[in-house]
Amino acid sequence: MSEQGETKMSDFKKEWTVESALEILGHPTVDSRIWADAVEWLLLHGPPEIQEMLKQASGFATHQEFPELEPEGYTEEGEPVYSVAQLAEALQITEEEAAELIAEKEKKHGVLHRYDGKAAKKIQ
């Protein structure tokens, strides 16, 4: 990862604390972009029990909003893996736009969000 990418990742990590992120989540009138940033931060840097609750809520919401979206497999940690083509179709954007969004998140978070198809485990 480049030095600039590492700086963006560490800047993102320093933007929040668990307390400030949870306060944002509980605020009744907070801006949706700030709320989403707080959730994103907690998913990456929050305590494991909060991460697990958010992942469960995210899975439920994904299934409710995008019932046609089916994982192609799962990571070693049990995280669902979706194809870029499926994500693009569900979000009504091009595959290139979807790939760019994923690349931006990877750079911002310093975390791999794309997996080789062979890395995803199939569940029968």
Secondary structure of residue 118 in the 3-state scheme = coil
Average of per-residue pLDDT values in the chain? 83
Instruction: Quote the pTM value.
Output: 0.69
What number of residues does the chain have?
124
Cα–Cα distance, 11 to 109 (Å, whole number): 9
Question: Around Cβ 7, how many Cβ atoms within 10 Å?
Answer: 11
User: What sign has the CA pseudo-torsion 106, 42, 87, 34?
Assistant: negative
pLDDT tier at 31, thresholds 50, 70, 90:
very high
pLDDT digits (tens, 9 = 90+) for 65-110: 999 998 888 888 888 888 899 999 999 999 999 999 999 888 887 7
